[in-house]
Structure formats: C-alpha cells, structure tokens
A and B are shown apart, each in its own frame.
Chain A
Amino acid sequence: MEMLIALVILIVTLIIGIPIPFVFLATVIYLIFSLGYDPSFLIPYGFSKLNNMVLLAIPLFIMAGGMMSLGGIGRRIVDFTEMIVGKTKGGMGVVTIIACAIFGAMSGSAAAALNSIGAIMFPRLEKSGYSKGFAASLIISSSVLGLLIPPSAIMILYAWIGNQSVLASFLATLGPGIILMILLSIINTIYMKDKDINIQQNNDNPELLSTSKKRTSMLAIPGLLMPFIVLGGIYSGAMTPTEAAAVAVVYSIPIGFWFYKELNRKRLYQSFVEAATTTGVLMVMLFGIMLLSRIIIMENIPDTLMKFLLSITENTLLLMLLINLFLIVIGMLMDDVSAVLLATPLLLPIVVNLGIDPIHFAAIIGVNLGMGLLTPPTAPLLYLGGRMSKAPINTMMGPTMLMILFAWLPTLIITTFIPEVALFLPRLLLGL
C-alpha cells in the first residue's frame, strides 16, 4: 500500500514539475515516515555510495566534451567527415550521422553531441535540400550516438548501480549504435531519393573551397586522436575510465589554447563551472535514488515486481517485451539519467533471474533510454533540437515518428532478441 502511494507521489511530483532529484527525495521522505524507518541510516549509505572513483569519470567526461566543444572541434569533425562522404546525394545526412558518432566517441552524452554537431549541421543540411523538420529530426536521432558510442555517462551509471564492468557496459551499446547508424542512413537515403537536388550544391560551402583537404585533415587530427587516447587508454588497461577522462581533459586544454586557439582562461573556467554544476545536479539525483533504492531493496520490491510479472506470463520473450514496454514508458516520462537510475535497481534483479546477461540488459536499457530522449512528453532532445534549428516541433513530429518506427524500434527489437549484438564486442575484447 505504502509503495503504491509512493508511486503516486513520484508520478504526481514529476508531472507538476518538481526537479527530479527532489521527486526522488520527496518519495524517500514519505516512505521513511510511513514505513517507520529511522532516517539516520540513509544519509551515510548515500555518502558511501557516492564515494566511488568510477562516478568521478562522469564530470571529467563532461569537462572533456565541453573543452573540445569550446575549442571548436565540432566544426573540424564535420568538415573532415564532409570532405570524405559529403559529395553524394543525401551525403550530408550521412555526414551528420558519422560526425555525431565521432563526437560520441569523445564525449559522454547525447546533449553534448547535439550541442557540438547540431549547431553546425542545421544550416548545412538545409542548404543541401533537407526540410527543417527532417534535418532537425535526423540530428537529434543521430546525437543519441553520443550516448551509445563509448564513453557514456549512462553506462557508467548503469555499471555503478548494477555492479557491472564499466568497460563491458560501454561496449554493449556500441553494436546497437552501429545498427542505428545503418538504419538512419537508409532512411536518409530513401528520403533524399525523391528529392531533386543538385549534388553540386555541396561544393558551395566556402569553408570547404577555401581550405585544402590537407588542412582540413590536419585540423581534425588532434580531435580525432582523442577517442584513441580515451578508448585506447581504457581498453589497453593503461588507465581506469576515470583516469582516461582526466587525461582527456588535460589533453584538450593545450589543444584548445594553442592549436585551435579558441579556448581562453575565461572559457576554461567557465567549462569547469558548467561541468561541476551539471555534475552537482546529477549527484543530488544519485544521492536521492540511492536512498530510494535502499528502501526498495529492504522492502523486497524487485521480488514483488517479479512475482507480479510472472503472474502475467512465464514466457521469457513476452516478459522481455513487457520490460521493454515499461522502459519505453519510463523513457517517455523521464530523461535518460533519471530513468537509468530508477530502472536499473528495479529491473536488473528481475532480468538476471530470467537468465538475461546483465551486459545484454545494459544495451537494452541504453537503446530504450536513448529513444526516450525523443519521445514526448519528456523529450529533451526534441525540444532542444527544435530550439536550435528553429524548426517548429510539429514539423519534427512526423520525421521523428518515422525514425522511431523504422530505425529505433527495429534497433530495440534486434538488441533485445539477438543478445550477440550487445555481447559480441565485450566477449571479443574482454573475454567475458
């Protein structure tokens, strides 16, 4: 009973617009009082959970992404990708997808990819004959690659809550990310097929005409090296993810100052403050969810939920569909971070019980919550993309729906029912 009221409190406070960390904390406070717990155990439990070096990787990856962004790497990546694949029909769409993936390999979130690549790609896509709505939809779908291509803040959180290997969780979403890239490219090609566009338009880009190929490549190199430093450092075992993130920040500072010459001391400090603020907001949320999940464990909620699910059906395939449905709903109501924090402690024990590999589930959660960033009512990427591109949201709904139906849902189904998509790389590289 108390749990049902708690669920109502959670949903109501969420809907009226209470900031999500305080949604979690308000629910905790209700449960503490209604179940008669002594609150004194919760605070130190929360502290001890936050005291974990893996979490520190999150602010550092945010900083690294911010530093590269301020240093102007986004534009260099786009120029470089355009130079290689841009001169075909519909090539600009593919440039968008690939540029987001490359930027995704050096930053940890979808918003970072949207901020860095989106702003540059909107005008270029429009000039190449894309409608505003389609361009904006393609960019927001592609920017989720920032989450699916490692490193990924969501996967760090998943690994942290579920006691899983960060390295394996990172690799789990890479396969689905590649499938998504392919499906988005196909949709893009079909869309452009009907358009009568002169390919030569691409060459109007003054940037590309004035700078030689050599120079474009040279300018992109320091940025393109970053994924090798970060991912190479992690997967060779030279560094922990946290150390690799710190090295990435330290690497990006001189690049931004002296190579791209777009970073200065004021911007540097600004990016420290921004990363710290983003992280601080996240940490209060983690603190709240930790307290909540401690009560969830003590009250045996995963057991209860499991029994409930099994009373509906004992078919594993159907149960996985139900769990996906549940994740889609959570994804509609919450942003990716809040959702992974809430869903992992609830669902991981259940899927493990069903015989699903936790690393496979990492991929399922990653794809679901990535898609959740595009599905209203809570759709941060949709709104942010709309604002940045000045495309009215209603013009984005159609193409976004199209991409959800023909790119996202197929990716989700493949990821759910073919475990190898998620597990192939972790097995190959980590011998799991």
Chain B
Amino acid sequence: SSSEGASGEKEKAGDTIDIRLSGQSPDDHPSTQALYKFAKQVKEKTEGRINVKVYPANQLGDYTTVYKEIGRGTLDMALISLPGELDDRLRLNFVPYLVKDYKDIDSVIGTDSYVFNKLQEVNNEQGVQLLGFHANGFGGIGTTKEMTNLLDLGEDKGLLLRVPPDDVFRQPMVDIGFRTVTIPYADLYTSLQTGAADGWSGGEASLNYLGYRDVIKYYYQTNDFFNADALIINKSLLDGLNEEDRKLIEELSKEMMAESIETSESYDKEYMEKLKEEGITVVEFSEEEVNKLAEYVRENTWPKLKERLGDDIIDELLKE
C-alpha cells in the first residue's frame, strides 16, 4: 500500500511512503547529485519503505511556489532558496558577507547557529521544518566585460549588473558601485548573451560554469554571498513519521550538510579551474581584499537592510 506523503497522519507499521523532493539546480550540479545520494540512502536504510523521488531543475516549479507547496503539504521535501517574498526574515541567510570564509560556515549557519534557529522559527510558522543547508560555495560576479576597479569601493564600475529584484541582493552591489538591472532569472542567459546585462552577481563558480560558461568572459570571486540551499520538509509529515524514520531523515540531512560544507571549498576550486579551462579569466582576491569588501558592505549595506529584516536581526548579526 502507498500513502500520500504529506497527509499528516501517523505512520502505520508496514506502510510505504512516497516522498516527492523538488530541487532547483540542474541535474549535474553538486547539490542535485547530493539529493540523489540522499534518496538512495533513505531507500537502502528503510529497505525500500520510504521512497524519495527527486525532481531536479525546477521541474515542479520555482522556489516560491515549491516552498508554499511544502507548507501546505502538496509537496513533501525540497532543496531550494528560501523565498523572502513570503516572509522578509527568510532572506536572513542571503545577507551579503554573512559568512566570511570556509572556516566560519558551520558556526554561522550550522544547526546550532543563531541564523539557523531564527530561520527554523520562521519556517515553522509556515508549516515547514528546516533540516539543514546544502552549502554550494561562495558567490562571485560573472561578467562579459573586464573590470579593473572592483576594489575601489563606491566608485562607478561602468558595468550593468543583473541582480534579483530584492534589496538584499541589489543594495550591496549598488553600494560597491554597480549600475543594476532587475532582469528575471529566467532571462539572465539571454540578457548576458545579448548584452542587456554585462554581468550577474551571487552565483558560485559551479553555477557560473554549469549555466553561463558560454556567455561570461570573467569571473570575480568576491565571496559576497555564501550560497546554501535549504533542505526543507513539510512539518506535519516529519512529525507524523515514527521516531526511527524521523531520526534517519534528520541524520542523513545533517550528513549531507556536513559533507557539503567539507566539499564546498574543493568544489569552488574545482569549478574555478574548469572556468579557466573554458578560457574564462578567473580573478581571485586575497583574504585582506575580501575582508575589505566585507567590512565595507557590513558598514554601508547592513544598516539599510534593517527595514527588510528587522532591527533586532541586523543588530544581532552586527554583534556577532
């Protein structure tokens, strides 16, 4: 017998459970590969009782609708960006320069961190449980034109940068000195191809390689955002599982997160190499230079985000 995943009813012994897991990255992206591994492990460890089917590449819709569906229980699980459109505070892990380097990842967004627990609180209000993050790597700026004055902070870069229509992403780029254009993500490839935008910010090396290697000529590893997708599950589905299954899912999620944190640095390196092999100029910055960028954005941009995220959250972050 098979039961609809997110019915919210208590699981009965011997029932098989189908779980639909929606992902947003392409099939060959590390995070999608991690999902396949997760699905395989769940199946093995429950001897086929829990069957996780992965739908990658936004097949079941973009992150906003998928998130809503997780909350309502028409989808079971997802690995997606949290949608700030639904609650401003869900933008918390997208605050620019929240994470400074690979050493800090676990302490800033790990399951014991302020960020994780704050996000858990907000997610629970929507009927969603946060299981962990899949760390993808540090974001940078992919461009079709060369830029020489990136570190002259506040000075006009002469570049039109595509940003998501959201202050959290736009404001730091404006403050650093870019002109910005808010093109929908779906049109990004075309607009880079045709020159409607000269570059885009926020994507890590792997995303720049997998999605845009044919159109970009330069990649600047600015570390402005630490990209991590949230692994989420419908809360009543998780609560309805028996102790053993619930623990298993939580354990495997933590494993996935720990593994992704471990591998994110090597992935960033690996894909920067691949970008170079494609003939793209990869510009890396010293720790000092990244710190300079981080300090500038924290000083200039963070206070402007108070209106969006709330005074207490920004104050708390600034304290840390």
Contact = CB atoms under 8 A, between A and B. Distances in A.
Indicate whether A and B are direct neighbours in the complex (CB within 8 Å). yes
Bin chain A's interface residue count: 20 to 34
B184 A40 contact: no
B187 interface: yes
A54 B196 contact: no
Contact of A165 (B59, B60, B69, B190): B190
Contacts of A305: none
Nearest to B7: A38
B135 to A, nearest CB: 26
Most buried by B among A41, A48, A49, A236: A41
B86 to A, nearest CB: 12
Contacts of A49: 61
B20 interface: yes
Contacts of B74: 37-38, 40-41
B190 A240 contact: yes
B214 interface: yes
B89 interface: no
Contacts of B69: 41, 44-45
Contacts of B190: 165-167, 240
Interface in B23-44: none
A238 B196 CA distance: 6
B200 interface: no
B4 interface: yes
| Consensus secondary structure, chain A interface | helix
A45 B194 contact: no
Contacts of A167: 190, 193-194
Contacts of A432: 214
Interface in A21-46: 36-38, 40-41, 44-45
Contact of A48 (B20, B62, B193): B62
A297 B193 contact: no
Contact of A53 (B57, B75, B187, B214): B187
Interface string B166-184: 0000000000000000011
Contacts of B191: 237, 240
Contacts of A124: none
Contact of A44 (B65, B186, B187, B196): B65
B64 interface: yes
B214 A237 contact: no
A240 B189 CA distance: 11
20 contacts: A36-B4, A38-B4, A38-B72, A41-B69, A44-B69, A45-B65, A45-B69, A47-B65, A49-B61, A54-B186, A165-B189, A165-B190, A167-B194, A237-B196, A240-B187, A240-B190, A240-B196, A298-B55, A430-B193, A432-B214
Interface of A: 36-38, 40-41, 44-45, 47-49, 52-54, 163, 165-167, 234-240, 294, 297-298, 430-432
What 10 A-B pairs are tightest by C-beta distance, nearest first?
Answer: A237-B194, A237-B195, A41-B74, A48-B65, A41-B69, A45-B61, A38-B74, A44-B65, A297-B59, A165-B190
